[in-house]
Structure 1
């Protein structure tokens, strides 16, 4: 019904996973979701993945705004549109994102970044563009998360942060392509620009790290070294094209990660290194794995640490460091291309990313599953299934100077 705009769309009562306080587990509650205002779209969520960033969100990342509805990976169908929305119509399959792309601002025109000036990263206010929320519970407003809040059966999103996708792709795959895997694949493709014959190291074989491995394979890397303390990641990484595996927990405890990488590469290190855990202790170590003078390190993992430390001697070696949000992928220009690469089987093995599906009502089960070594991605279906994907297995206390200390079971709320 094209007339179903903001004025006509009624408030919907639905289920959502609400985080009431910092460090608490999500609780499935009945909430109210308003109709979309001008320039907004209400989406009925179909699948919503759980990402490491959502785990951090339970701890107050990036700003401690509670109560909140988390979730920033997912796929859904347009239920109603607000006034002035012309890009989408009811029934379209869409991915909510935390980035926008106008295509006309200085940043968009530069070709050097995916951070649009007109539609910037929506991370810190927990509110819509008019500084209000579209979600509430018993009259109390709920904060949005990264402009998405996909852990709800319905969510309202600014149209500029929605991407229409080809429905030929399996929708669970589309869910985790909205952040983790695409972040890794995109960093290889858009940021590092890995070339044929190059060498790559990947620290942390969660969905982001596996996306890096797949991207490196697609772009012809000759050697792809995966690094993780979870031995079960070896087989998964090999399935995506990893050529070598380092488990810092085994072997020589006197060698750092960078020393082990250099042993595999004739002492020179790799062309490109990707830090996918968000562990501050590993950032300098990831840079140290790269070649002197020409090595490039990309940091992709989200972290609660407000700072990281670099060894000045490492910096003197003229290696390059860059952080990449969403792997440098532009949501309107590039994300549909990633979808088509999956449909056309250029990107493979996505089925192996999805290990569990649970109902939204069992989202805490999904959080518990994240602790399991075999879990890659869990997808709640909103109707909703949580899709669980591989998570990084490192924690800050595990390493000093890149050396393995002890194994801490990954802690979740």
Structure 2
């Protein structure tokens, strides 16, 4: 029996207050409006960004709210004006979007800074009418980054939905919607290490491991991991890590340790922790003349990056990467296809 055009009642994990345990509630999910898609979420993961906004330390509080943004599912119904998706399509909801019409989407120099749909953590309503699609007994429940995947059903703007191959295992490709692309793309699309070069990866969470895999695929000769948890090193070897540095083992800045290890610094570094001190270390450990540092981790709201200007004047390059420099609707289906075809 079709549920298109009807309110769906389902379970969702609702954050009622900052830092308080999520509560499994029955929520009402309204039908999709113009340019919207209602998705049945089959798999969802927990990203540290969800935790940041659940804790709400230094951020604008917006509760009650349904968090979650790393997920996979199947289209249940579509709203007016949605022509490239249909019920039954396998999809990944993405926390940032691609309208395909703005200056950023049309630019060859900007991949995912869409003027309409770029990530907005403070907006808890849909663009079409400024209202939520979630409610409990008539009380609005706010959205999170346009996805809110901690719900059995969610409503997402079509520009934030990547249609993928129906043969893709949704449990396996779920992390592609956030962490995997964020780390892997930061290395292969932004840092772009050449074969035989050295790469340092700061942080061995999911994003850092994906960044390390990117370095391995690019043919890096040495991939140095920096993390304060030594238990992560053994598993990280599967992703190409060749050496491990724990900053706690030294009485000097870790960037100095890496410079000494590599005879002047690494060729590329990718920072995946969000720690400002790690960002500084990642930048200052790259070789002068050609070294490139890519920042990926999200810092705290009031953090400030500081380094001596000579580190830049010595022809080191500092870059930032957002979602691995991938266009959500255009590129992500191809990333999934590469996974399916084992293309490296």
How does the TM-score come out when normalised to structure 2?
Answer: 0.94
Indicate if the aligned counterparts of 1:101 and 1:330 stay in contact, CA closer than 8 A.
yes
User: Which of 73, 84, 87 in structure 2 is aligned with 1:87?
Assistant: 84
Match in the other structure for 2:7: 11
Question: Quick one: distance in 1 between partners of 2:106 and 2:76?
Answer: 32
Residues 159 and 329 of structure 2 are in contact (CA less than 8 Å); yes or no, is this contact kept in structure 1?
no
> 1:257 aligned to 2:257?
no
Asked if the contact 2:191–2:270 (Cα under 8 Å) also holds between the matched residues in 1, the reply is no
Counterpart of 1:70?
67
1:270-311 C-alpha deviation (Å, 9 max, x unpaired): 111111001122211110111113211111112323332312
Conserved 8 A contact 1:75-1:96: yes
Matched, 1:324 2:321: yes
Aligned partner of residue 332 in structure 1, secondary structure: helix
C-alpha deviation, 1:123, in angstroms: 2.8
Shift of 1:33: 0.7
The 8 Å contact of residues 160 and 329 in structure 2, kept in 1 or not, is answered as no
| Equivalent residue number for residue 210 of structure 1 | 209
Structure 2 residue 302 is matched with structure 1 residue 306: yes
* 1:290 counterpart = 2:286: yes
Find the aligned partners of 2:173 and 2:120 in 1 and give their Cα distance: 21
Task: Check the 8 A contact 2:183/2:209 in 1, yes or no.
Answer: yes
Mapping for residues 100-119 of structure 1, pairs under 5 Å? 100-113=97-110, 114-119=112-117
Q: Distance in 2 between matches of 1:170 and 1:63?
A: 36
Residues 59, 303 of structure 1: alpha-carbon distance in 2 compared, 3 angstrom cutoff: farther
Are the equivalent residues in 2 in contact too, given 1:38–1:82 (CA < 8 A)?
yes
Quick one: distance in 2 between partners of 1:334 and 1:89?
19
1:398 equivalent in structure 2: none
- The CA deviation string for residues 322-375 of structure 1, in whole angstroms up to 9 with x for no partner, is 22111111112221121112112235xxxxxxxxxxxxxxxxxxxxxxxxxxxx
Instruction: State the secondary structure of the residue aligned to 1:176.
Output: helix
- How many residues align? The count is 340
1:14-413 alignment to 2 at 5 Å?
14-60=10-56, 63-113=60-110, 114-129=112-127, 130-250=129-249, 253-266=250-263, 268-312=264-308, 313-346=310-343
Q: Deviations over 1:245-291 (max 9, x none)?
A: 112233xx21221112112201x111111110011222111101111
CA distance in 2, matches of 1:317, 1:53: 34
Q: Deviations over 1:176-215 (max 9, x none)?
A: 1100111011111222222212211000011110111111
* CA–CA separation in structure 2 for the residues paired with 1:84 and 1:333: 19
Cα distance in 1 for residues equivalent to 2:259 and 2:29: 54
Indicate if the aligned counterparts of 1:127 and 1:144 stay in contact, CA closer than 8 A: yes
**Structure 1 residue 319, shift from structure 2 partner:** 1.9
Tell me by how many angstroms 1:231 deviates: 1.4
CA apart distance, 1:104: 4.2
For residue 283 of structure 1, give the secondary structure of its aligned residue in structure 2. helix
Following superposition, the deviation at residue 118 of structure 1 comes to: 4.1
Contact 1:56 1:303 in 2 (8 A): no
Assess if the C-alpha contact under 8 Å between 2:191 and 2:269 holds in 1: no
Q: What's the TM-score, normalizing by structure 1? A: 0.78
Contiguous gaps of at least 5 residues in structure 1 = 348-413
Give the drift of 1:48: 0.3
**Distance between the aligned counterparts of 1:216 and 1:109, measured in 2?**
29
